[in-house]
Amino acid sequence: MIKINSIKIDTFFYLSEFQCPCCSRVIIHSDLLKYLVKLRNLIREPLFINSGFRCIDENKKVGGVEKSYHLFGMAADISVKQKNIMDLAEFAHSIGFKGIGVYKTFLHLDVREYQEHWEG
């Protein structure tokens, strides 16, 4: 039997990559997917989705903020193997991501309405 979250939603991504680790539910905003695909095409390197959609319980468990964009399928924490995180952040900004958080081992990207960049 094929699990519903195993479907391919784009050339590079499966729905399961964005599912909540605790309940397997998934929501993904179309702009998030669109920009992730653009980023993947630009850098020509696989993007690893460390965290996509989170339910309220999972968000609390990982210490996410109360109104995290992950709760609405509008954010993903990603990593890559070959690119520097700061370079990756610049690429993400150049293709239209508004929310960009730079962390030591991953990059938070979201599709909020306004520009906000931070380091965590």
Q: Would residue 28 count as lying in a domain? A: no
CATH code, 101: 3.30.1380.10
Angle at 69 between CA 16 and CA 59, to 5 degrees: 70
Q: What is the pLDDT of residues 52-105, one digit of tens each?
A: 999 999 999 999 999 999 999 999 999 999 889 999 999 999 999 999 999 999
pLDDT at 2 over 70: no
Q: What is the pLDDT of residues 6-48, one digit of tens each?
A: 899 999 999 999 999 999 999 999 999 999 999 999 999 999 9
Quick one: tokens of 91?
């690429």
- The residue among 48, 79, 73, 60 whose CA lies nearest residue 22 is 60
Domain tally for the chain? 1
- Domain containing 46: what range? 35-114
